Amino acid sequence: MTKQILIIDDEASIRETLSGILEDEGFSPLCAESAEVGLTILEEETVDLILLDIWLGDNMDGLTALEKIKEIYSLPVIMISGHGTIETAVQATRKGAFDFVEKPLSYDKIILAITNGLRFAQLEKENKILRDRTSKVTKIIGESEVIKDLKAQIERVAPTDAWVLIRGDHGTGKELVAQAIHRHSLVTDHPMIAVNCAAIPEELIESELFGHEKGSFTGAHSSKRGKFDQADGGILFLDEIGDMSLKTQAKILRILQEQKFERVGGHKTISVNVRVLAATNKNLEEEIEKGNFRADLFWRLNVVPITVPRLCERLDDIELLVRDLMKRLVSRGLGNKKFSNNALRLMKRHSWPGNVRELRNFVERMAIMCPSDIISEEDVTLFLSPGTGAPTPSQHPEAMRPYEAASFKDAKKYFEKEYLTQKLNENNGNISQTAEQVGMERSHLHKKLKSLEISS
Ligand SMILES: Nc1ncnc2c1ncn2[C@@H]1O[C@H](COP(=O)(O)OP(=O)(O)OP(=O)(O)O)[C@@H](O)[C@H]1O
Ligand SMILES: [Mg+2]
């Protein structure tokens, strides 16, 4: 779309010259002889950039106008002036001007300033979208007492350098908690590097965590920084810590204590400073009893324990969660639907063994499968089989209809989800057995389940 540029200058000849230049360059100019007229145009038109004269005769001057514009709009403003002194230029920049061009105007300079200004605005916009997206993804929804308590614990522990062990069932939001701790920490400008200990094959975990030097093993074509290295100065998030082998646990314990390590195949000692957050859905005390988890590592990680409540402990949050989940679906183009009050009441009676992840999948399923805009109690009854949390599509008489509407990608994903959920159920959640039955590598199946958000 043609970019609209507003010229605010009291001299008619300047407005005409600038309009001509802008038209030649493919922009669409708008003209105002005073700041007041300019502000009115801004109210009515979508403007992409402003050229603003500093000296505007007897009316409101350019610097005051700049202040007013910046209060309301986040547009790039380029100041133009025949009386340009360094001082006014500095003043204008302080008030938020993007650039300063002196009269007599040079064609090249003005076009360069405009091009830069527009590019800057575009980048700023993209940046904002990214920021919004991240903040949406990581927000912890809920107002129940248990969630309020969880948020308070996060706020208390986040701005310290304490290590935290995040515990809780599948799909309760442990990863969200880790992200929230990072967001409220003292190292938000450093990354939080996540390592999923369950998804990395045993033989690769050392290289993944500590990095490797070129040629240190078959396939190591170049040297690589490990996650510890990448997290230096920031946070290392060891997710699913309960699935780490005893061998890796021994290795990691030493490195966590010393904050020093060597890359695989390397001799140089690398020192880092990382804060560690770990998460698990396993009962580590039991795992210690069984000999599957090292007690010393447990005590090292468990400086501050935080337990994320199960969804059945905070059923009153369902309404807020559903609203948020629906909003996220709308941003993916899946249609905005509402649950009736009776439907919500019924949902509050379900036990949600898969917690918020199950609720999320359920809301998505309903948004795709239900033909009407209001999801009724009957729809919920049909789809929410008590206890299993994994109803099959054949339970709904109109189950096949969405396949006609959904994209191939969605339909494929849907099928995969249904198929793997069923196979997992048949094998009582045992991943190795399921992998064997469906003819997939265990690690591949694990990754697939993760990406489809199926809790095993
Ligand atoms: N309080 C919450 N507010 C909003 N969304 C949530 C909340 N808790 C969890 N979710 C959503 O539920 C899903 C599961 O959350 P998350 O991955 O953090 O769970 P988890 O405890 O790490 O699960 P697992 O043990 O299976 O790894 C995510 O899509 C997340 O966005
Ligand atoms: Mg997780």
Q: Whose CA is nearest to atom 30 of ligand 1?
A: 173
* CATH architecture of the region 4-135: 3-Layer(aba) Sandwich (3.40)
- Confidence (pLDDT) at 154: 96
Ligand 1 centroid – CA 358 distance (Å): 9
In terms of Cα–Cα distance, which of 267, 264, 193, 423 is closest to 448? 423
Distance between start and end Cα atoms, the chain: 49
- Residue 328's alpha-carbon distances to 325, 409, 416, in angstroms, are 5, 18, 22
- Confidence (pLDDT) at 99: 92
- Confidence (pLDDT) at 55: 86
pTM of the model: 0.60
Is 313-451 assigned to CATH 3.40.50.300?
A: no
Domain with CATH 3.40.50.300 in the chain: 145-309
Q: How far apart are CA 4 and CA 125, in angstroms?
A: 17
- Residue 212's alpha-carbon distances to 91, 159, 229, 253, 265, in angstroms, are 52, 33, 11, 19, 6
Q: How far apart are CA 100 and CA 85, in angstroms?
A: 10
Q: How far apart are CA 209 and CA 230, in angstroms?
A: 9
Domain with CATH 1.10.8.60 in the chain: 313-451
pLDDT digits (tens, 9 = 90+) for 336-376: 789 999 999 999 999 999 999 999 999 998 988 888 889 99
- Residue 91's alpha-carbon distances to 8, 10, 66, 81, in angstroms, are 19, 21, 11, 13
With beta carbons less than 8 A apart as the criterion, state whether 199 and 243 touch: no
- Confidence (pLDDT) at 345: 93
Task: Residue count of the chain, please give it.
Answer: 456
Q: Which atom from ligand 1 is nearest to the alpha carbon of 166? A: 21
Q: Is the dihedral of CA 200, 299, 150, 186 positive or negative?
A: negative
Q: Which of 165, 175, 456 to mutate to test the pocket of ligand 1 (most atoms within 8 A of CB)?
A: 175
Per-residue pLDDT of the chain (456 residues), as tens digits, is: 689 999 999 999 999 999 999 999 999 999 999 999 999 898 878 799 999 999 888 778 999 999 999 988 889 999 998 766 778 888 888 899 999 998 888 889 999 999 999 999 988 877 776 665 565 455 899 999 999 999 999 999 999 999 999 999 999 999 999 999 998 999 887 889 999 988 888 888 888 898 888 777 777 766 778 899 889 899 999 999 999 989 889 988 988 888 888 888 888 888 899 999 999 999 999 999 999 999 999 999 999 999 999 999 999 999 999 999 998 888 777 767 899 999 999 999 999 999 999 999 999 989 888 888 899 998 898 887 654 444 333 333 333 334 444 556 666 777 788 788 878 887 878 888 888 888 888 888 888 888 887 876
Ligand 2 centroid – CA 239 distance (Å): 6
With beta carbons less than 8 A apart as the criterion, state whether 198 and 243 touch: yes
- b (16+ CB within 10 A) / e for 200-220: beeeebbbbbbbbbeebeeee
Ligand 2 centroid – CA 416 distance (Å): 20
Tell me the CATH number of domain 145-309, given options 3.40.50.2300, 3.40.1180.10, 3.40.50.300, 3.30.420.40.
3.40.50.300
Domain with CATH 3.40.50.2300 in the chain: 4-135
Number of the ligand closest to the Cα of 174: 1
Q: Whose CA is nearest to atom 10 of ligand 1?
A: 173
Strands 235-239 and 275-280 turn out to be: parallel
With beta carbons less than 8 A apart as the criterion, state whether 51 and 80 touch: yes
Q: How far apart are CA 161 and CA 241, in angstroms?
A: 20
Residues in the ligand 1 pocket, defined by CB under 6 Å: 140-142, 168, 170-176, 281, 321, 324, 356-357, 360, 455
Q: How far apart are CA 238 and CA 279, in angstroms?
A: 6
Ligand 2 centroid – CA 315 distance (Å): 21
